[in-house]
Structure 1
Amino acid sequence: MQDLTLVMAQLDPLVGDIPGNADRAIEAVREARIEHGADIVVFPELFLSGYPPEDLLLRPSMEARLRHARAHMAEKMARDVLVIIGYPGVREGKRYNLAGLLYDGQWQAEYAKQALPNYEVFDEQRYFLPGMTPLVFEHKGASLGILICEDLWDGGPVQAACDAGADILVSLNASPFHHDKPTERRRLLEQHAQDVQRPIVYVNTIGGQDELVFDGGSSCVDGFGQLQVLAPSWQAGLMPVQFVQNEDGWVPQSGEIEPSVEAEETLYCALVTGVRDYVNKSGFKGVVLGLSGGIDSALSLAIAVDALGPQRVQAVMMPYHYTADISKADAAQQAELLGVHYEVMPIEPMVDAFMATLAESFAGTERDTTEENLQSRCRGVVLMAISNKKGLMVLTTGNKSEMAVGYATLYGDMVGGYNALKDVYKSWVYRLARWRNTQSLAIPERVIERPPSAELAPDQQDSDSLPGYDVLDAILMRYIEGDMSAEAIIDAGYKEEDVYQVVKLVDRSEYKRRQAPVGVRVTPRGFGRDRRYPIVNGWQPGE
């Protein structure tokens, strides 16, 4: 009878900070050894470079920096712990996604990822060549089969590692979050473990990188697919897994299992993580946003406060003629409720000055959306001026439903550095706002209950120009994430006029979305990395 302690290092590397990531690994191994008596410490995929490093991989100095970091680790790392860590590497002129095994001051072996994903947000075939052989490494009587992320989803490398004699499968991952992704992962682990009758250790990264967020959820299932250990989502930390060897092989013992939570909580944590890490890793002092008294800016403010703390958040109400008194009151109430710095800056003098300048050019024309957009652009100028002066990033507040149909103003409410709600449909905005208020009151109830309005014209409501958000979101989900044609959506029971209106607006608004800030990706098909359509094209919406 033997036992083995493996520690899953669910940590948040910084992309490009190779020396810093190496030092983070050294410190984590030291802590895992002292606190948990670790025999093995496993880090996520591409931990040393951070994930995804994108075209940093093409920099000539990348390999030299990695070699230096690995030499530093070999010198400083605890020698009686097997360290398994991910990094890119050039071997014989070819670049691979690697897992390196470090023990007793020596790099003992390397495994090259075999399955390279090239879908959704993944673009690994641009950078890497696939490995061709499994790696099984023996440590303290246990034969460890090494896998990297997509190897597990592909399945072929799993069987190859078992055929090569693996007792325990160890998978290094950088698996981005989206709706239902944790459930998909759980099913995958259960199925593969049952198929090969081996325990699987799944180590995932944590934190935000540009629009991607990583939820962690590192876990271990036994050879029957039963969950034995599950690390907390959205929290960095070290999670031990105890293995005992008996007549059935190496068996993971039951340990800590993070309880499941509501979908709203998971999504809210993803948004908070995205905002927090984008602002902090970019070096901004905090954020500033326009607080209109509407639901989107209200939810964005709550997210910003939960991500950064109230002392790093400034909210600005910028009223005009059409701003309702209750909008002003609700914005002030929320700002006081959350304890943020709050200012009121009327935009009437700016709008009047622009209109006076444009009066001759606009002579003989009728009032239209031009004047509405001008209000929004004045607000954008105010926010950007505050940003420049105070070193605060502008957090823009448009949701996915609006971004999809172009219900936003270029250089106006689209001005900003980051958007917490960019990939959140309007119907989910309401769900998240209601959930957040169950934790503590953060959004005045009247903001949630009022019909949504841009307040750029008298008595304006969103429903004046768009289908109701329940219908709009249902159509958008089918068109954007399901790739359904207009006819197929109509056949599913939606009105023809609504479908064609929405589909045309989505196609026509691609140029706007290309100029929009990045934002947290939380659906399987976010605007940006994984939905790339030509701006100029002759595609017809019915196709």
Structure 2
Amino acid sequence: MKIAIAQINPTVGDLSGNAQRILEAAIQAADLGADLVLTPELSLCGYPPRDLLMRPSFITKTKRQAEALAKALPSDLSVLVGIAEDNPSAAMQGQKPIFNSMALLQSGKVKEVFHKRLLPTYDVFDEDRYFESGTKASSFLLQAERESIHVGVTICEDLWNNETFWGKRTYSINPTQELVENGVDLVVNLSASPYVYAKQVLREDMIAHEAKQHQRAIVYVNQVGGNDDLIFDGQSVAFNRQGELVCRAAAFSTDLKLVNFDIDKQDLQPAVIETTLLAADAEIWSALVLGVKDYARKCGFRKAVIGLSGGIDSALVSAIAAEALGPQNVLGVLMPSPYSSKHSISDAEQLAKNIGIPTETIPIGQLMSGYEKTLDDLFKGTESDVTEENLQSRIRGNLLMAVSNKFGHLLLTTGNKSEMAVGYCTLYGDMNGGLAVIADVPKTRVYSICRWLNRKQALIPNNIITKPPSAELKPGQVDQDSLPDYEILDDILERLVQKQQSADDIVAAGHPAATVEKVVRLVTRSEFKRRQTPPVLKVTDRAFGMGWRMPIASQWSLELSAESDKSK
């Protein structure tokens, strides 16, 4: 039996377009002799559809599109397609109105529909908001000529509840275990698993463990592409019953792979394994390029605009945008102020030349003077402070938004995660934009990726990498006037934000108490800023996006001071 892994890039809500992508993959698979084609979770409507799922017309049209797709498919091919399916018991039993399902399309019809059983409700997932859980193990008999295999169907989270792998059971049932007890020959898992740095290693370890424990081959297909803040990396895999990798699809691009299930051996045969997993900087770079490319394409943007400061953050974002959209489609805008150093201007110009993007220069000195003069009477008797510094950023933000409005360019913000965490950014200034490209990338990682980019040629001017980072909002300013060294800051932030450690834990790890208290205070008081940021491309397991749900009006500090007091 030949099984095709169709790693496609759906667009949320593009029912006809997604159906066409599935049809094209199916025709290609049929030409290769496939008997069964696997597509990702909710592949027909795109994942995640979020509150589109609350619209009855969306569910109805998805069903009709599935029926139309079934008629268009090759008649001798079976295809599993992800859909949202009505729950007929919802009104009578007070259940959720729909299921997260896979439809089996065969012989021109929707033959069977299988429902997802485990619904994740953590981080970016909120499936219990929409879906009812399936109640029974899902499987079907796949027949080709005189042969048949019993295929067990799982959907994404259904595979993530192996107690012996995780050391605990998150859900009361284990769908894979039930399928094995029902005598399936093969388990397939149809997923839309968002990208997080190094997640593929965890996925492969988990699937290998599951296959070896249950002595069943597993084929896992994952969505690829960017949808809003989420990036899907693909990297679909297949493991034989010994837990050995026999196939891996491409990372961060669409792909079609064929695996052969030997009925006599009851196992998968070796197939194509794409290159070994990417190193950290290459992996994050690839994810961000795909995220920008798909966000622009799926939102209807052809070009982007970026404010070029001569700093490392705007340099990295410019390089990502040039790779994603083509350098001719990225406009860099230099907006020097009286405080801008000569090297910042020359560094920005050299960067633009290196990556091949056009630039425009708009000096803002006169605009700054105009603002200051306008505010003179109101501010009389006060000292110059961060207010005047922020005027520069807000002037630049207004100019960039004007360019975006006039020419229809997507404005990309350039702030990194370290700055977002501690509020070292300006509302209605450098936070202006339609997409926060590196707002989930710590400053130290920004440097690391830029050094990686320069491994073959000096794409990022060396001076940008080696000079002290500065916002240049006043004479002689550097970031470390206000913040700890970024190596220290990023370690504290990783412990505080991602590992959920208390201030006492972080101090015990070796950081000075005063530094930790300052960082905790900055993170806590900056929540109102983060709430107003553009969509943040997610590359870590704790991003400042839809999975971050901290209150703004709160008297609770992240330092957990009440618990700390009790322990002293």
For 1:81, the equivalent position in structure 2 comes to 77
Match of residue 492, structure 1, among 509, 512, 516: 509
Asked if 1:58 is matched to 2:54, the reply is yes
For residue 515 of structure 1, what is the amino acid of its counterpart? Q
| Contact 1:244 1:252 survives alignment (8 Å) | yes
Match of residue 389, structure 1, among 395, 406, 410: 406
Asked if 1:134 is matched to 2:141, the reply is no
| Contact 1:142 1:250 survives alignment (8 Å) | no
Asked if 1:354 is matched to 2:371, the reply is yes
Q: Deviations over 1:259-310 (max 9, x none)?
A: 2221110010011111111111100121101000000000010000010001
For 1:32, the equivalent position in structure 2 comes to 29
| Contact 1:320 1:346 survives alignment (8 Å) | yes
For 2:261, the equivalent position in structure 1 comes to 243
For 2:312, the equivalent position in structure 1 comes to 295
For 1:529, the equivalent position in structure 2 comes to 546
For 1:467, the equivalent position in structure 2 comes to 484
For 1:19, the equivalent position in structure 2 comes to 16
Separation (CA, whole Å) in 2 of partners of 1:439 and 1:530: 37
Separation (CA, whole Å) in 1 of partners of 2:558 and 2:177: 44
Report how far residue 245 of structure 1 moved.
Answer: 2.1
Match of residue 160, structure 1, among 178, 181, 188: 178
| Contact 2:7 2:224 survives alignment (8 Å) | yes
Q: Is the deviation greater in 250-259 or in 349-358?
A: 250-259
For residue 513 of structure 1, what is the amino acid of its counterpart? R
Separation (CA, whole Å) in 2 of partners of 1:310 and 1:540: 44
* SS of corresponding position for 1:61: helix
Report how far residue 487 of structure 1 moved.
Answer: 1.2
| Contact 1:220 1:252 survives alignment (8 Å) | no
Q: Is the deviation greater in 417-426 or in 258-267?
A: 258-267
* Alignment RMSD (CA, Å): 1.0
Q: Residues 506-517 of structure 1 correspond to what in structure 2 (within 5 A)?
A: 506-517=523-534
Q: Which runs of 5+ in 1 are unaligned?
A: none
Match of residue 275, structure 1, among 287, 292, 299: 292
For 2:169, the equivalent position in structure 1 comes to none
Separation (CA, whole Å) in 2 of partners of 1:91 and 1:445: 59
Separation (CA, whole Å) in 2 of partners of 1:203 and 1:229: 11
Q: Deviations over 1:339-387 (max 9, x none)?
A: 1110111001111111111111111111101110000000001100000
Report how far residue 491 of structure 1 moved.
Answer: 1.2
Match of residue 197, structure 1, among 215, 219, 224: 215
Match of residue 87, structure 2, among 88, 91, 107: 91
For residue 308 of structure 2, what is the amino acid of its counterpart? L
Separation (CA, whole Å) in 2 of partners of 1:276 and 1:74: 31
Match of residue 41, structure 1, among 15, 33, 37: 37
Report how far residue 22 of structure 1 moved.
Answer: 1.3
For 2:122, the equivalent position in structure 1 comes to 119
* SS of corresponding position for 1:518: coil
Separation (CA, whole Å) in 1 of partners of 2:455 and 2:343: 23
| Contact 2:317 2:414 survives alignment (8 Å) | yes
Q: Deviations over 1:439-464 (max 9, x none)?
A: 54321011011110000011100011
Give the direction of change, closer, same or farther, for the CA distance of 1:541–1:257 in structure 2 (3 Å limit): closer
| Contact 1:228 1:257 survives alignment (8 Å) | no
* SS of corresponding position for 1:84: strand
* SS of corresponding position for 2:160: helix
Give the direction of change, closer, same or farther, for the CA distance of 1:439–1:122 in structure 2 (3 Å limit): farther
| Contact 1:136 1:165 survives alignment (8 Å) | no
| Contact 1:220 1:230 survives alignment (8 Å) | yes
Q: Deviations over 1:131-180 (max 9, x none)?
A: 01112211131111000000000240001111112101000000001122
Report how far residue 258 of structure 1 moved.
Answer: 2.6
Separation (CA, whole Å) in 1 of partners of 2:275 and 2:190: 20
For 1:70, the equivalent position in structure 2 comes to 66
For residue 69 of structure 2, what is the amino acid of its counterpart? M
Q: Residues 437-476 of structure 1 correspond to what in structure 2 (within 5 A)?
A: 437-476=454-493
For 2:190, the equivalent position in structure 1 comes to 172
| Identical positions, percent | 44
Match of residue 205, structure 2, among 174, 182, 187: 187
Give the direction of change, closer, same or farther, for the CA distance of 1:541–1:51 in structure 2 (3 Å limit): closer
Report how far residue 76 of structure 1 moved.
Answer: 0.8
Separation (CA, whole Å) in 1 of partners of 2:436 and 2:132: 34
Q: TM-score, normalised by structure 2?
A: 0.93
Q: TM-score, normalised by structure 1?
A: 0.98
Q: Deviations over 1:159-218 (max 9, x none)?
A: 111111210100000000112210110111011001100000000000001110000000
For 2:235, the equivalent position in structure 1 comes to 217
* SS of corresponding position for 1:115: coil
Match of residue 375, structure 1, among 392, 400, 410: 392
Q: Residues 314-463 of structure 1 correspond to what in structure 2 (within 5 A)?
A: 314-463=331-480
Give the direction of change, closer, same or farther, for the CA distance of 1:541–1:223 in structure 2 (3 Å limit): closer
Q: Is the deviation greater in 436-445 or in 347-356?
A: 436-445
For 2:559, the equivalent position in structure 1 comes to 542
| Contact 2:222 2:235 survives alignment (8 Å) | yes
Separation (CA, whole Å) in 2 of partners of 1:334 and 1:192: 48
| Contact 1:406 1:512 survives alignment (8 Å) | yes
* SS of corresponding position for 2:472: coil
Moved over 3 A (4+): none
* SS of corresponding position for 1:333: helix
Report how far residue 541 of structure 1 moved.
Answer: 4.2
Total equivalences in the alignment: 538
| Contact 2:98 2:131 survives alignment (8 Å) | yes
Report how far residue 235 of structure 1 moved.
Answer: 1.1
* SS of corresponding position for 1:154: coil
Q: Deviations over 1:70-116 (max 9, x none)?
A: 12112111111110111111130431000111111122211101111
Separation (CA, whole Å) in 2 of partners of 1:530 and 1:169: 30
For 2:110, the equivalent position in structure 1 comes to 107
Separation (CA, whole Å) in 2 of partners of 1:104 and 1:541: 57
Separation (CA, whole Å) in 2 of partners of 1:507 and 1:240: 50
